[in-house]
Structure 1
Amino acid sequence: MGAIGRPMAAHVARAFETKVWNRTIERAASFAQEHGLRVAADPSELVSWADVIITCLPTSADVTAVAHGAAADWREGQLLVDATSGDPAEARELAAWLAARGVAFVDAPVSGGTTGAEAGNLTVMLGGEPPHVGRAETVVRPYSGKIRHVGPVGAGHALKAINNALLAVNIQAAGEGLAALVKLGVKGAVALEVINASSGYSNVSQNLIPERVLTRAWPRTFRLALLDKDVGVALKVLEDTGVPHDAISVAKQALGKARAVLGEEADHVELIKEIEKAAGVVIE
């Protein structure tokens, strides 16, 4: 249960009878004690107990491993709602595997960060067949501000990956542009004031850079490693659909280099640290 999954689970637990499981069992035990819930010993126990299972793991491969680990316990009529920022192709494969057992699948990745998760105001992108999506909407509503059925199985994961690729491109472009402006004598705060009143503004320029870079606070809310993974998924979506992907390819390369230097725990906005280092400047 991570920074986003834990508050999501708390909202679900307040709305429905809930049992929890986590690969780090201490996290599940702590959460269960806080909310008065029961802990499943393993995925098999959870699948045997629940009608609807919500997964929120780092990758689609992790979700598949958990689902296959409980292969003998799935039963007809169940629904798996996958809130992972996952891979569309892998989601389609898992959906087919579950369908052979009479189990429905809806991919349901979220956007809105830790603030949205804690407030129960996340945007949820649902991919699946309409009857199953209707059931999924009921389950995700407690932690959602906006819910949209965006297409068939895998469409939710594809949209989330593209959204995060746009985030990555924005971070890189804003970091590079601001570094150049500071070297030319423009204060970072002044540059952002103008940009945010002009056509180049984004969430990165309006919120992330003022709150994290100018302050040098660098809070860790979303790992750069996970953004790197998501951009890799987006790149694969573009390649598979035959769409040019120059900008996102460059962002993927930059994230990979920063991840190698900064490590697995670095926050996604810390990409700008590497831009500052290469430029020999501090954006402030």
Structure 2
Amino acid sequence: MNSLSVAFLGLGAMGYRMAAHLPKHFQQVFVWNRTAEKAQQHAQTYGTQAVTLQEAVQADLIFSCLPTSADVEKLIASVELKQGSIWIDCTSGVPESAKKLAAQLKQQHIDYLDAPVSGQTIGAENATLTIMVGGNAQAFERALPAMNAIGKLIKHVGESGAGFAVKAVNNMLMAVHLCAACEGATTLKAHGVNLAEAFECINASSGQSTVTSNILPNRVFNRRFPLTFALPLLAKDTGIALDLVREAKLAAPVIALSQSLVQAANGVAEDNSDFSTVAKMYESWSKITIE
């Protein structure tokens, strides 16, 4: 059992499940959430300790999993941190924010790692998340035992901001696949093709992706659209990816178009919509149900 103290800030759909694994590996695990009752519930269920924000940030290792980089910046600005600690930010954030926070915290003798995760709530539940980490390599090694508690594939991908960049591009690629798969499914349905049988063929062929093998069959074809990753968060991440393209002065027409499509879907979606409801935008255009 590791003697380092660990804190987890932000007990949303992902954070609540991620923090649950830490008491199996660490003697002291603190949790904090803006809604205190949720932290207290977590403590009762998993044996963590619900504490104030200022108490939480006195831990040796501090995880955060918040909606945006702006939320993390505000949180860090509001507290006094302990020298020698490591802040592990699992938010799907902005690379420039990571660089700024890493430089700011370094002056206080604190390391900051941008460590976004992928694998949705099922990965958080099973501690099988992929974690892409940017920041100081030595800090990465020191924080690795804590990340091993919540993830399966954990990679140091570069300096500060690199983790956020990889996550943004990953989610953009998923959005590209989602838009393309919806268009393909709509086309097949318009020609009277059985989608279930067609996608069995596609998933044994070169057109296969996580979207075709998992997202469409388990979210769209069955009309469930379970909320595990909100559409506004996908819209945020595709925007970050497009910003990276523009900062590098690159030509990326597929990324630009896909970001526009995701933003359009987000603009017409109902509140609390899952990212898979992008399919509903295509259905409204074509008058064809993807099932």
TM-score, normalised relative to structure 1: 0.95
Among candidates 253, 256, 263, match of residue 263 of structure 2? 256
Residue 203 of structure 1 is matched in structure 2 by: 210
- For 2:133, what is the secondary structure of its paired residue? strand
* Contact 1:107-1:157 at 8 Å conserved across structures: yes
Asked if 1:32 is matched to 2:43, the reply is yes
Residue 97 of structure 1 is matched in structure 2 by: 104
Structure 2 CA distance for aligned equivalents of residues 14 and 242 of structure 1: 46
Structure 2 CA distance for aligned equivalents of residues 229 and 178 of structure 1: 25
The Cα of 1:241 is off from its aligned counterpart by 1.6
* Contact 1:55-1:84 at 8 Å conserved across structures: yes
Structure 1 spans left out of the alignment, 5+ residues: none
- For 1:105, what is the secondary structure of its paired residue? strand
Asked if 1:18 is matched to 2:25, the reply is no
Structure 2 CA distance for aligned equivalents of residues 197 and 105 of structure 1: 42
**1:224-275, Cα deviation, whole Å (9 max, x unpaired):** 1101111111111111122222112112111112112113410000100111
Between structures 1 and 2, the one with greater strand share: 2
**1:49-106, Cα deviation, whole Å (9 max, x unpaired):** 3111110101111111101110xx2232111010111110011001111111111111
* Contact 1:11-1:120 at 8 Å conserved across structures: yes
Asked if 1:166 is matched to 2:177, the reply is no
Structure 2 spans left out of the alignment, 5+ residues: 1-10
The Cα of 1:28 is off from its aligned counterpart by 1.0
Residue 72 of structure 2 is matched in structure 1 by: 63
* Contact 1:80-1:104 at 8 Å conserved across structures: yes
**1:174-228, Cα deviation, whole Å (9 max, x unpaired):** 0011101100111211221221122111000011111111111211111011011
* Contact 1:167-1:204 at 8 Å conserved across structures: yes
Asked if 1:50 is matched to 2:59, the reply is yes
One-letter identity of the residue aligned with 2:282: I
Higher mean C-alpha deviation, range 180-189 or range 29-38:
29-38
Structure 1 CA distance for aligned equivalents of residues 238 and 143 of structure 2: 26
Higher mean C-alpha deviation, range 203-212 or range 251-260:
251-260
Higher mean C-alpha deviation, range 150-159 or range 23-32:
23-32
Higher mean C-alpha deviation, range 185-194 or range 196-205:
185-194
- For 2:215, what is the secondary structure of its paired residue? helix
- 5 Å-filtered alignment, 1:262-277, equals 262-277=269-284
Structure 2 CA distance for aligned equivalents of residues 103 and 228 of structure 1: 31
Structure 1 CA distance for aligned equivalents of residues 47 and 19 of structure 2: 13
- 5 Å-filtered alignment, 1:135-146, equals 135-146=142-153
Structure 1 CA distance for aligned equivalents of residues 202 and 159 of structure 2: 38
* Contact 2:87-2:113 at 8 Å conserved across structures: yes
* Contact 1:128-1:151 at 8 Å conserved across structures: yes
Between structures 1 and 2, the one with greater helix share: 1
Matched-pair identity in % = 41
Higher mean C-alpha deviation, range 1-10 or range 151-160:
1-10
* Contact 2:235-2:262 at 8 Å conserved across structures: yes
What is the aligned-residue RMSD (CA, Å)? 1.1
Among candidates 6, 31, 37, match of residue 16 of structure 2? 6
